[in-house]
Copies of this chain bind each other. A is one copy, B any other.
Amino acid sequence: MQHLEQMSDKPTTIKEIAKLLDISVSTVSRALNDHSSIGLITKMRVKKMAKELNYEPNQRAIQFLQGKSHTIGVILPELAESFFSAAISGIEDIAYKRNYTVLLAQSHDDADREKLLIEKMKMQRVDGLLISVSKTTNTYEHFEAFKKSNIPIVFFDRIPPVKNIHFVASNLESGTFEAVNFLLKKGHRTIGMINGPTNLVASTERKNGYIKAMTSHRLKFDPSLMVNCDLTEAGTIESMDNFLNHKRKPTAIVTFNDYVALFAIRYARSLNIQINKDIDFVSYANLPLINYMDFTPIASVEQFPYKQGKKAADILLDLINKPKSDSDAEPAYYNVVVESELIIGKEK
């Protein structure tokens, strides 16, 4: 049997197989899909020919036909940020496992670009959208529009202030609570916190966790031990000075993130303060390198971005594949909070 050397041009189609075997396309299709109504001999012939011609089903055609793209859109602010790159890693892992494909884009924290991307994703007919909204996003109608088109959205980490949405987010309150609790149990009574700007939810969560831990130990919250820092090095140093000159000098300090921890520790060392001796430090994990450093916080609050990404992707795919809203008036919304957790530094 000599059928033209497979021309390395256009991919083989089901039609060509049909023509070469002198059977109908439908038979070929069914044969390839092991449909019961096709004879064994025909199946074999078709499959053999398909393999010979390197046939590969055109997914685009199938997706178009079935109105399903088997693709999820993912919009993140910035892939270079380690939190998000860890998250996308988890998202892709789940998508791969569940046989979905990931369409990726970054908003660069630009609300306009984000809006455009959402539009694009809709036109691409993604089966679902996973998004961590940009910092500058302050209108939310486009999400509503997306929702109307019956494509599920799962929000992730940065959640818009809108009702009736699915989301996965971490709660820093629990981790902060644990962190402060841990310090209290170690005997500390004067615990400073270098918190972030007051307009961040993350700052509020930290504050609440702090207060909760204090009151749970029947200690009252001293507001002067919590400073709001702009997270720069200068701001950090200022905050540290504030504490060091405080009438109640903290014996432990919780810092907003690893950068702040770094600045604070460096500054403290320059003043000959013994790290984790004179003052214990606790931070929030966001940088991979921190564990390799000389003077690191004795513990840090972990947010599990990889795990969060997986969870969010799983929820989205569940939503996509759920057995069609059985006319239930009020659908249930996934509001998953991944509790943060205190990780106590490994010795050495």
A residues contacting B by CB (< 8 A) are 8-9, 11, 54, 56-61, 63-64, 69, 71, 78-80, 82, 85-86, 88-89, 92-93, 96, 101-106, 119-120, 122-125, 145, 148-150, 258-259, 262-263, 266, 269, 287-290, 292-295, 306
B80/A306 in contact, CB under 8 A: yes
20 A-B interface contacts by CB (under 8 A): A8-B150, A9-B150, A56-B123, A58-B64, A58-B125, A59-B124, A59-B125, A61-B64, A71-B103, A79-B86, A79-B92, A80-B306, A82-B288, A96-B105, A258-B289, A259-B292, A263-B292, A266-B294, A293-B293, A294-B294
Looking at A89, A120, A266, A287, the one whose CB has the most chain B CB atoms below 10 A away is A89
By a CB distance below 8 angstroms, the chain B residues around A93 are: 106
- Whose C-beta in chain B lies nearest to the C-beta of A293? B293
Given the interface pairs A78-B89, A79-B85, A102-B104, the reply to whether A123 lies near B287 with Cβ below 8 Å is no
Residues on B with beta carbons closer than 8 Å to the beta carbon of A101: 103, 105, 120, 124
Q: A85-B79, A85-B85, A289-B287 are in contact. Are A103 and B102 (CB under 8 A)?
A: yes
Nearest residue, chain B, Cβ from A233: B292
A57, B123: Cβ atoms closer than 8 Å? yes
Known: A60-B69, A294-B294. 7 other contacts (CB 8 A): A60-B124, A80-B89, A92-B105, A102-B105, A103-B103, A287-B288, A288-B289
CB-nearest residue of chain B to A295:
B294
Q: What residues of chain B lie closer than 8 Å to A80, measured between beta carbons?
A: 82, 85-86, 89, 306
Chain B residues within 8 Å of A294, by CB: 266, 269, 294-295
What chain B residues lie within 8 Å of A306 (beta carbons)? Answer: 80
**Given A80-B306, A122-B56, A262-B293; A88-B105 close (CB under 8 Å):** no
Which 4 pairs show the lowest CB-CB distances between chains A and B?
A: A85-B85, A289-B289, A8-B148, A79-B89
Determine whether the beta carbon of A123 is less than 8 Å from that of B78: no
Nearest to A93 among chain B residues (CB) is B106
A85 CB to nearest chain B CB (Å): 4
Residues of B within 8 A of A85 (CB): 79-80, 82, 85
In the bound complex, residues from chain B placing their C-beta under 8 Å from that of A88 are: 79, 104
CA distance A71 to B106 in the complex (A): 15
Residue contact B104 to A149, C-beta cutoff 8 Å:
no
User: Is there an interface contact between A82 and B79, defined as CB atoms closer than 8 Å?
Assistant: no
Contacts of A86 in B (CB 8 A): 79-80
Known A-B contacts A124-B101, A292-B263; A64 and B56 likewise in contact (beta carbons under 8 Å): no
CA distance A192 to B63 in the complex (A): 58
Which residues of the other chain, B, contact A59 by a CB distance below 8 angstroms? 123-125
Contact indicator A60/B56 (Cβ below 8 Å): no
Complex-state Cα separation, A293 to B79, whole angstroms: 23
| C-alpha spacing A93/B61, complex, angstroms | 28
A174 to B104, alpha carbons, bound, how many Å?
Answer: 34
CA distance A54 to B122 in the complex (A): 12
